[in-house]
Amino acid sequence: MCGIVGYIGKQKATPFIIEGLKRLEYRGYDSAGVAVHQDGSIRVAKKTGRVANLDKETARHNFTGTCGIGHTRWATHGGVTDANAHPHVSSDGKIALVHNGVIENYVSIKKFLTGKGYTFASETDSEVICNLIAYHYDKEPETADSSRLLESVRKTLSHVEGTYGMVVTSEGNSEELVTARKGSPLILGIGKDENIVASDVSAIVARTQNVVYLNDNEIAHITPDNFSITTVDQSSITPVIDTVDWSIENAEMGDHAHFMIKEIFEQPEALENAMRGRFSEDGSTAQFGGLNISANEFRGVERFMFCSCGTGLHACMVTEHLIEMFAHVPVECDYASEFRYRNTPLFRNTLFFVMSQSGETIDTLAALREAKRKGYKVLAVNNVVGSTIAREADGGIYQHAGHEVGVASTKAFTSQLLIGAMLALYIGRMRDLSYGAGVDFVNALKGTPELVRTGLKQASHIQAIAKRFAHYEDMLFLGRMSLFPIALEGALKLKEISYIHAEGYPSAEMKHGPIALISEKCPSVFLAPKGELFNKTVSSMQEIKARKGPVIAVITEGTVLPEGLADEIITIPDCHEAVLPIVASIPMQLLSYYIAVERGCDVDKPRNLAKSVTVE
Ligand code: F6R
């Protein structure tokens, strides 16, 4: 969740680290800090709040050193204070460290170290490992081949239980950094006369597109012009240098007020990218290059299981609906966080999918590992090439939605919906979906970007509705069938960025309890597309109206509602059933975005949240 940047090279480290931390701020933004080698010692600056505060602080110090480490924090152990911010420095002043993850046995290690005279300035588990490295460093013989720091980190890790992505530096030695990973991503950026380590490529691409993804239990030793990787138990690793296929422009906001609105408007392109090269020549089905499972094997699947978290789970729920509708194969969805402990019985011919845009969500990763441990193949729908989930899955489908910075997922979500629809088509065409129905399906999918462009034209209308509804403190989102998960998603989006209490329900469930909430103070957003359930949804709206509940209705263009039933109407273009959830998502995103802006909320960095959740 937190962001890490380390730099070693010929340029000043601090401006690069600060710039990188700004790009990583979406991963955690409670506090930030840097530690830089300066005039033979390690100098530290830390500040609570945003990286901008740290920027001001470091400007005062004018650090010129060319080796340093930095961190932006999402608090786990200990409150948000300057002392708890990273980097931490050991009490003997010899070691500085930044750390992502959670050290489970820090209490016993702290007790041991206290007995050895080490002291602690913070409440964090990270400071404990920093001091443990210092303890081993002190015992390690000084060597000419600079293995002292590396070996003390290695020894420390053999005593540590938990997860970490860490970068460590030692006093008086500005020619090396040591970095190690277990359960928390770290990437090396291989530059010319400089090397970088970061928890996310967005902090690296300003300087180089050549990267090495560290694996769990690996330690890297980095100098300005070299690096080597070994495992914690000393096996050597031959690194593979990958090229990142996006550049710094993807991580910039351009003319937009927020990343979220930029990414909402990038959806047509993201959808096009998700489809590129993925339709059969006869135009009647989908094809995927990286499933690593034969068509025959796929045909033999009798049940699909989808696991994810948050927004990703809503995409899974839509996929469940579409696969069952078009392919008639049973699908089950579960929260990854529940599945990992639930020990659910799975049928023999089950194919397991996880969806994770970041590819780093720890609960989803744990669900993947649990399914693999039980002997199932696991495929991943994922947006980040080289992410942990992508690497641990047996195969999968990359979303190619482009870098998503806004904490509230938008384009990554609709691209998951599209891939879910393509899967339904692929599986359907292996079974009873006819050639003609397949061709119609493909044509509908190909038309999605244009439908989304049409939906985006409603932005100013939705902004006006948002102004009218921004003062409410409760809201309900109601939808049926494939739009029930979109109602859940609408509610999630609104609560996470505007802090309005919102809930999603199937419309017909209202009368089984939630209707008790209805009053003039609780508006309902109805997803009411044309179709066989339209009249029933209209009846549900009448029940709300009869109790003075304000109604925002999202209806298909050309549909007419009874006079006075809705306080506001948003139209969506008429479309194929498989595409409807994507089209209906657009007004949900715009509504929550404009309401949050109207309420003065920090849309891209909502309170308490972080982009990828790498702690349990
Ligand atoms: C909400 C949101 C989260 C994520 C969830 C899983 O807008 O983005 O609910 O969907 O944390 O994240 P990924 O998809 O990265 O595994």
pTM of this structure: 0.84
User: What's the gap in Å between 410 CA and the centre of ligand 1?
Assistant: 10
pLDDT of res. 245: 76
Tell me what the mean pLDDT of segment 539-549 comes to: 94
User: Is the CB of 311 within 6 Å of ligand 1?
Assistant: yes
pLDDT of res. 144: 57
Which amino acid is it at 10? K
User: Is the CB of 589 within 6 Å of ligand 1?
Assistant: no
Closest atom of ligand 1 relative to the 364 alpha carbon:
16
Percent of the chain with pLDDT over 70: 97
Tell me what the mean pLDDT of segment 413-437 comes to: 97
Tell me what the mean pLDDT of segment 264-277 comes to: 96
User: What's the gap in Å between 361 CA and the centre of ligand 1?
Assistant: 8
Tell me what the mean pLDDT of segment 437-447 comes to: 98
pLDDT of res. 43: 95
Please enumerate in sequence order all residues whose Cβ is within 8 A of that of 335, keeping only pairs 6 or more positions apart, or say none.
Answer: 307, 308, 309, 313, 363
CA distance 291 to 411: 22
Mutate to test the pocket of ligand 1, among 357, 362, 604 (most ligand atoms within 8 A of CB): 357
pLDDT digits (tens, 9 = 90+) for 483-512: 999 999 999 999 999 999 999 999 999 889
Residue 142's pLDDT band, with cuts at 50, 70 and 90, is confident
CA distance 93 to 143: 20
User: Is the CB of 361 within 6 Å of ligand 1?
Assistant: yes
Closest atom of ligand 1 relative to the 613 alpha carbon:
11
User: Is the CB of 312 within 6 Å of ligand 1?
Assistant: yes
What is the H or E stretch that residue 168 is in?
strand 164-170
- Tell me the CA distances in angstroms from 318 to 9, 38, 52, 140, 419, one per residue in order: 48, 54, 40, 56, 11
CA distance 182 to 164: 5
Is 48's pLDDT higher than 60? Answer: yes
pLDDT digits (tens, 9 = 90+) for 354-365: 999 999 999 999
Residue 605's pLDDT band, with cuts at 50, 70 and 90, is confident
**Which protein residue has the closest C-alpha to ligand 1 atom 13?**
356
pLDDT digits (tens, 9 = 90+) for 182-195: 988 899 999 999 99
Tell me what the mean pLDDT of segment 306-318 comes to: 98
DSSP 8-class letter at 200: S
pLDDT of res. 145: 60
Is 255's pLDDT higher than 90? Answer: no
Percent of the chain with pLDDT over 90: 80
**Which protein residue has the closest C-alpha to ligand 1 atom 5?**
310
Residue 28's pLDDT band, with cuts at 50, 70 and 90, is low
pLDDT digits (tens, 9 = 90+) for 118-140: 999 998 999 999 999 999 999 87
Provide the annotated active-site residues: 2, 611
Tell me what the mean pLDDT of segment 462-481 comes to: 97
User: What's the gap in Å between 241 CA and the centre of ligand 1?
Assistant: 28
User: What's the gap in Å between 357 CA and the centre of ligand 1?
Assistant: 7
Tell me what the mean pLDDT of segment 75-79 comes to: 76
**Which protein residue has the closest C-alpha to ligand 1 atom 8?**
409
Contact assessment for residue 353 and residue 378, using Cβ atoms and an 8 Å cutoff: yes
